[in-house]
Amino acid sequence: MTTSHYIAGRWVEGQGSDCISVNDPALGQPFAELMAASAAQVDQAVAAARGALPAWKATSAGERAGYLRGFAEQLGQRREALISVQMRNNGKPRHEAEIDLDDAIATFNYYAELAAQLPSKNREVPLAAPGFTARTRLEPVGVVGLIVPWNFPLVTSAWKLAPALAAGCTVVLKPSEVTPLVEQAYGQIADALGLPAGVLNIVNGKAETGAALSNHTGLDKLSFTGSNSVGSQVMRSASAQCRPVTLELGGKSAIVVFDDCDVDQAVAWIVAGITWNAGQMCSATSRLLVQDGIADALLPRLQAALDNLRVGNPLTEEVDMGPLTSQAQWLKVASYFATAREEGLQCLAGGRALDRDGWFVSPTLYADVPKDSRLWTEEIFGPVLCARRFATEEQAIAEANDSRFGLVATVCSTDLARAERVADALEVGHVWINSVQAVFVETSWGGTKGSGIGRELGPWGLSAYQSVKHVTRCLG
């Protein structure tokens, strides 16, 4: 795979110095490799996007909607191939890879509809002062750099690409070096649809490629999803150019279980919140706050549920959870197991790497975790759940909000008035009540505090790629 970069409508070989190994995490072995893009190729990609911008933003909203519907249709036509590559490169169980693909398809269809409904570029604005008229224009923000992570590559890129293209922006997409293969489909689809050259560009590489893109003076906006450490670097790059940035960063989210819950339902919601994608989610509800009255019944059942999960290779076994996606993440999670032992935490389930090929760890539960434990306060990005008990609603809210992150939360209670009240009090961007983490394209996605800046999905995702212009004229 040498022609791994899509620049100005052509597939080109990487000219960088890094060779990227693409691994099967269930085996811990590489199965493909590609050469990274050079800084010069990043320049070429940005230049191609800049050159394509005038014509692309001049296309009608209906024409852009047609291309987006084409992306959705073409993703569906590649269904089995895209599911397979996610299973092999990400380690996702089949049912998770299927949902990811359906999410991406729904995203392109949704923004196709929003694009088709975009108002006229000129909207009259009534003024209180006589003698003047004013109109508003919604314009694309321009050339956008998109940097996406390895945990949900097909999905996260769709969340950025679809609204950016709908708004009339041109883009340079940089996939993660851990999972670079599935995003190749977007370049293949651009070819199949006859998308004008330069509207979509894809450059692959490691941190150097990401830095070359985020520091590039030819961009008008950056949108980044990933870790807080890299996000702060992206924000510094944006600040140097005084340009807008959208950041979707980490989380250390809480799931709050009140004692009026059905225990079996609560266990299902808790397990889904920590083991989906092997816990490699910024939204993982990794802090369990369980009310005293239900804790003694819930924790043993939760322990049994985690112990009984089928963990294995999704390509050869029926599994509930696959491996961690990279060796680096496997080592990181293993280091937290060591920290838990050093801190003397009470381990009810898991707490170890599995003795088999590949990057597998056991679904893990620690009980009565102190609030100053590293495992309670730091994002682990693995299937590691920490539990604490609480007595009152006020205590639950206070402990849930006691975090430098504020991405999501889940509330479990049959008292719906209380559940809604707690949801309103939580300092996060998205709350589920009595549910798994169902994410719909019509809703917003993003967080408060250290979990990022801005929102994706819904109409907010489109507005993130639009600029507002007012034109005022004197009638005198």
Span 56-84, pLDDT tens digits: 999 999 999 999 999 999 999 999 999 99
Residues 217 and 295 in one domain: no
- The CATH number assigned to the domain holding 210 equals 3.40.605.10
Residue 1 pLDDT exceeds 90: no
Do 278 and 336 lie in one domain? The reply is: yes
Q: What is the distance between the alpha carbons of residues 28 and 225, in angstroms, rounded to a whole number?
A: 25
Task: Tell me which residues are annotated as active site.
Answer: 248, 282
- List the 200-202 sheet strands across, edge first: 10-12, 5-7, 200-202, 170-174, 143-147, 221-225, 245-248, 452-453
Reported confidence tier of residue 429, pLDDT bands at 50, 70, 90 = very high
The pLDDT score that the predictor gives to residue 92 is 98
Please give the share of the chain, as a percent, with pLDDT higher than 70: 99
- The whole-number average pLDDT for the span 272-292 is 98
On whether both 229 and 284 belong to a single domain, the answer is no
Boundaries of domain holding 419: 254-440
Structure token digits, residue 442: 């019509």
Q: Are 288 and 270 in contact (CB under 8 A)?
A: yes
- The verdict on 163 and 194 lying in the same domain is yes
In a domain, 377, yes or no: yes
Q: What is the pLDDT of residues 202-253, one digit of tens each?
A: 999 999 999 999 999 999 999 999 999 999 999 999 899 899 999 999 999 9
98 and 224 assigned to the same domain: yes
CA distances (Å), origin 52, targets 8, 13, 192: 9, 22, 18
Q: Where are the alpha helices (DSSP H) in 117-241?
A: 153-167, 184-193, 207-214, 228-241
The one-letter code for the residue type at 148 is: V
Cα gap 34→256, rounded to integer Å: 44
**pLDDT the model gives residue 207:** 94
pLDDT at residue 2 is higher than 60: no
Token pair, residue 232, equals 């702060």
Number of domains, the chain: 2
Q: What angle do CA 51, 173, 251 make, to 5 degrees?
A: 140
Across the range 364-389, mean pLDDT stands at 98
Q: Tally Cβ neighbours within 10 Å of residue 443.
A: 12
Looking at residue 282, the DSSP 8-state letter turns out to be: T
Q: Would you state the structure tokens that stand for residue 238, as one six-digit string?
A: 């944006």
As a whole number of angstroms, the distance between CA 276 and CA 249 comes to 18
List alpha helices for 308-433, DSSP H. Answer: 327-343, 374-377, 393-401, 416-425
Does 237 share its domain with 303?
no
Asked, for residue 198, whether it belongs to a domain, the answer is yes
Instruction: Name every residue whose Cβ is closer than 8 Å to that of residue 177 and which is 6 or more positions away in sequence.
Output: 18, 20, 36, 204, 205, 206, 209
Residues 173 and 225 in one domain: yes
Max Cα distance, the chain (Å): 82
Is residue 193 over pLDDT 60?
yes
Residue 445 in domain: no
Looking at every residue in the chain, the average pLDDT score rounds to 96
Q: How would residue 123 be classed by pLDDT, with cut points 50, 70 and 90?
A: confident
The answer to whether residues 113 and 17 belong to one domain is yes
Helices (DSSP H) in 117-176: which residue ranges? 153-167
In a domain, 398, yes or no: yes
Q: Is residue 40 part of a domain?
A: yes
CATH number at residue 322: 3.40.309.10
The dihedral over CA atoms of 74, 158, 148, 446, expressed in degrees to the nearest 10, equals: -170
> Could you give the CA distance from residue 185 to residue 423 in angstroms, rounded to a whole number?
38
